[in-house]
Structure 1
Amino acid sequence: LYTLPSQLPGTTELLSIHYDNIKILNSSMVTASGLWNLTHLELNEVQLQQIEPGSFKDMNFLQKLIIIDNNII
Structure 2
Amino acid sequence: MLKRYIDATGVSKSTLAKQINLSRYTIYELLKDQDKREFELSDETRIKIRNFLYQKMKSIKELEELK
Task: Quickly name the TM-score band, shorter chain normalised.
Answer: under 0.3
Higher Cα Rg, which structure: 2
- TM-score (structure 1 length as normaliser): 0.24
- TM-score (structure 2 length as normaliser): 0.25
Higher RCO, Cα 8 Å, sep 6+: 2
Report which of the two has the higher share of helix. 2
